[in-house]
Amino acid sequence: MAIIQSKKEQFDTLTERCIQIIRAGGQRDDILHKICVLLEREIEVYDWVGFYIADPNAERELYLGPYVGEATDHTRIPFGKGICGQVAESHQTFIVDDVHQQDNYLSCNIHVKSEIVVPVMQGDAFVAQIDIDSHTVSAMDDTDQKMLETICRELAPLF
Ligand code: SME
Protein backbone atom coordinates (compact mmCIF):
# COMPACT_ATOMS: atom_id res chain seq x y z
CA MET A 1 0.00 0.00 0.00
CA ALA A 2 1.39 3.38 -0.95
CA ILE A 3 1.95 5.78 1.91
CA ILE A 4 0.96 9.30 0.93
CA GLN A 5 2.75 11.91 3.02
CA SER A 6 1.32 15.37 3.42
CA LYS A 7 3.56 18.31 2.57
CA LYS A 8 3.75 19.14 6.27
CA GLU A 9 4.88 15.60 7.16
CA GLN A 10 7.49 15.59 4.40
CA PHE A 11 8.79 18.99 5.49
CA ASP A 12 8.88 18.03 9.19
CA THR A 13 11.05 15.03 8.25
CA LEU A 14 13.31 17.21 6.09
CA THR A 15 13.63 19.78 8.86
CA GLU A 16 14.80 16.99 11.21
CA ARG A 17 17.29 15.71 8.64
CA CYS A 18 18.73 19.22 8.21
CA ILE A 19 19.03 19.63 11.99
CA GLN A 20 20.87 16.29 12.13
CA ILE A 21 23.30 17.51 9.43
CA ILE A 22 23.95 20.71 11.41
CA ARG A 23 24.36 18.93 14.75
CA ALA A 24 26.75 16.36 13.21
CA GLY A 25 29.19 19.28 12.85
CA GLY A 26 32.04 19.89 10.39
CA GLN A 27 33.06 22.82 8.21
CA ARG A 28 30.35 25.43 7.84
CA ASP A 29 30.35 25.42 4.04
CA ASP A 30 30.20 21.60 3.91
CA ILE A 31 27.13 21.72 6.15
CA LEU A 32 25.54 24.42 3.96
CA HIS A 33 26.26 22.41 0.82
CA LYS A 34 24.75 19.23 2.29
CA ILE A 35 21.57 21.14 3.11
CA CYS A 36 21.39 22.51 -0.45
CA VAL A 37 21.84 18.99 -1.87
CA LEU A 38 19.17 17.49 0.39
CA LEU A 39 16.53 20.17 -0.24
CA GLU A 40 17.10 20.32 -4.01
CA ARG A 41 16.95 16.52 -4.28
CA GLU A 42 13.94 15.93 -2.06
CA ILE A 43 11.65 18.80 -2.99
CA GLU A 44 10.39 18.49 -6.54
CA VAL A 45 9.75 22.21 -7.07
CA TYR A 46 13.13 23.41 -5.69
CA ASP A 47 15.33 23.97 -8.75
CA TRP A 48 18.12 26.13 -7.29
CA VAL A 49 19.08 26.18 -3.61
CA GLY A 50 21.90 28.33 -2.29
CA PHE A 51 23.24 30.59 0.42
CA TYR A 52 24.25 34.23 0.19
CA ILE A 53 26.47 35.45 3.00
CA ALA A 54 26.98 39.02 4.28
CA ASP A 55 30.60 39.85 3.35
CA PRO A 56 32.43 40.94 6.50
CA ASN A 57 35.06 42.64 4.30
CA ALA A 58 32.66 44.69 2.18
CA GLU A 59 30.14 47.38 3.00
CA ARG A 60 26.60 46.01 2.72
CA GLU A 61 27.27 43.29 0.15
CA LEU A 62 26.37 39.61 -0.16
CA TYR A 63 28.59 36.98 -1.71
CA LEU A 64 27.44 33.64 -3.08
CA GLY A 65 28.20 30.71 -0.81
CA PRO A 66 27.47 27.01 -1.37
CA TYR A 67 24.67 26.26 -3.83
CA VAL A 68 23.16 23.51 -6.00
CA GLY A 69 21.77 24.33 -9.45
CA GLU A 70 22.81 26.26 -12.51
CA ALA A 71 25.71 28.69 -12.20
CA THR A 72 24.58 32.28 -11.67
CA ASP A 73 26.08 35.64 -12.67
CA HIS A 74 24.95 37.02 -9.32
CA THR A 75 27.95 36.06 -7.23
CA ARG A 76 27.88 39.41 -5.39
CA ILE A 77 24.69 41.35 -4.59
CA PRO A 78 24.56 44.78 -2.93
CA PHE A 79 22.11 45.16 -0.03
CA GLY A 80 18.82 46.54 -1.44
CA LYS A 81 19.22 44.97 -4.91
CA GLY A 82 16.97 42.12 -6.03
CA ILE A 83 14.96 39.89 -3.73
CA CYS A 84 18.13 38.83 -1.92
CA GLY A 85 19.33 42.38 -1.35
CA GLN A 86 15.91 43.43 -0.06
CA VAL A 87 15.92 40.61 2.50
CA ALA A 88 19.41 41.68 3.61
CA GLU A 89 17.78 45.01 4.59
CA SER A 90 14.32 43.92 5.80
CA HIS A 91 15.47 40.82 7.75
CA GLN A 92 12.11 39.28 6.82
CA THR A 93 11.33 36.19 4.74
CA PHE A 94 10.28 37.16 1.21
CA ILE A 95 8.07 34.79 -0.84
CA VAL A 96 7.67 35.75 -4.50
CA ASP A 97 4.84 33.87 -6.24
CA ASP A 98 5.69 35.28 -9.68
CA VAL A 99 9.09 36.87 -10.21
CA HIS A 100 7.86 38.61 -13.37
CA GLN A 101 5.65 40.83 -11.21
CA GLN A 102 8.67 42.15 -9.29
CA ASP A 103 10.45 45.38 -10.30
CA ASN A 104 13.42 44.87 -7.99
CA TYR A 105 14.42 41.39 -9.11
CA LEU A 106 17.68 39.89 -10.40
CA SER A 107 17.08 37.12 -12.90
CA CYS A 108 19.28 34.05 -12.60
CA ASN A 109 17.82 32.21 -15.54
CA ILE A 110 14.74 32.50 -17.71
CA HIS A 111 13.07 29.38 -16.29
CA VAL A 112 12.67 30.76 -12.77
CA LYS A 113 9.07 31.60 -11.86
CA SER A 114 8.99 31.84 -8.06
CA GLU A 115 11.45 32.35 -5.25
CA ILE A 116 11.80 32.36 -1.45
CA VAL A 117 14.55 34.06 0.52
CA VAL A 118 14.89 33.51 4.29
CA PRO A 119 17.36 35.45 6.45
CA VAL A 120 19.79 33.92 8.94
CA MET A 121 19.91 36.23 11.96
CA GLN A 122 22.27 36.33 14.94
CA GLY A 123 20.08 38.30 17.29
CA ASP A 124 19.54 41.63 15.51
CA ALA A 125 22.41 41.07 13.09
CA PHE A 126 21.75 39.78 9.57
CA VAL A 127 24.50 37.29 8.62
CA ALA A 128 23.28 35.24 5.65
CA GLN A 129 20.25 33.94 3.79
CA ILE A 130 18.99 30.86 2.02
CA ASP A 131 17.66 31.52 -1.49
CA ILE A 132 15.50 29.03 -3.40
CA ASP A 133 14.29 29.35 -6.99
CA SER A 134 11.54 27.31 -8.61
CA HIS A 135 10.49 26.79 -12.22
CA THR A 136 6.90 26.55 -10.93
CA VAL A 137 4.72 29.61 -10.22
CA SER A 138 3.72 30.00 -6.53
CA ALA A 139 5.84 26.99 -5.53
CA MET A 140 6.40 28.09 -1.92
CA ASP A 141 3.99 28.78 0.91
CA ASP A 142 4.02 29.11 4.69
CA THR A 143 5.01 25.44 5.11
CA ASP A 144 8.23 26.17 3.19
CA GLN A 145 8.69 29.35 5.20
CA LYS A 146 8.31 27.55 8.54
CA MET A 147 10.79 24.79 7.58
CA LEU A 148 13.39 27.20 6.21
CA GLU A 149 13.10 29.59 9.16
CA THR A 150 13.71 26.66 11.54
CA ILE A 151 16.75 25.57 9.51
CA CYS A 152 18.09 29.15 9.42
CA ARG A 153 17.70 29.47 13.22
CA GLU A 154 19.73 26.28 13.66
CA LEU A 155 22.39 27.54 11.24
CA ALA A 156 22.80 30.98 12.86
CA PRO A 157 25.60 30.03 15.32
CA LEU A 158 27.77 28.80 12.43
CA PHE A 159 28.26 32.32 11.03
N1 SME B 1 16.82 36.23 -7.89
C2 SME B 1 17.70 36.76 -6.88
C3 SME B 1 19.15 36.70 -7.32
C4 SME B 1 19.84 35.46 -6.96
S5 SME B 1 19.50 34.16 -7.99
O6 SME B 1 18.08 33.81 -7.83
C7 SME B 1 20.40 32.82 -7.64
C8 SME B 1 17.32 38.18 -6.53
O9 SME B 1 16.43 38.77 -7.16
O10 SME B 1 17.91 38.72 -5.60
20 C-alpha to ligand 1 centroid (Å): 28
Domain-located, residue 75: yes
Domain-located, residue 1: no
C-beta of residue 28 within 8 angstroms of C-beta of residue 12: no
Tell me the per-residue pLDDT of 84-123, one tens digit each, with 9 for 90 and over: 999 999 999 999 999 999 999 999 899 999 999 999 999 9
Q: What angle do CA 148, 58, 93 make, to 5 degrees?
A: 20
Tell me the per-residue pLDDT of 59-68, one tens digit each, with 9 for 90 and over: 999 999 999 9
- What's the rounded Cα separation, in Å, for the pair 7 and 9? 5
> Residue of the nearest CA to atom 6 in ligand 1?
108
Domain-located, residue 70: yes
Q: How many independent structural domains does the chain possess? A: 1
**Range(s) of the domain holding residue 56:** 7-158
83 C-alpha to ligand 1 centroid (Å): 6
Tell me the per-residue pLDDT of 12-32, one tens digit each, with 9 for 90 and over: 999 999 999 999 999 999 999
Q: What CATH number is given to the structural domain containing 85?
A: 3.30.450.40
> In 3-state terms, the chain is what percent helix, strand and coil (to 5)?
40, 25, 35
Residues with CB under 6 Å of ligand 1 are 48, 72, 74, 77, 82-85, 105-106, 108, 115, 131, 133
| Distance (Å) of CA 86 to CA 2, 12, 118, 147, 155 | 43, 28, 11, 21, 21
- What's the rounded Cα separation, in Å, for the pair 88 and 127? 8
Put simply, whether the predicted model's pTM sits higher than 0.85 gets the answer yes
**Closest ligand 1 atom to the C-alpha of 107?**
1
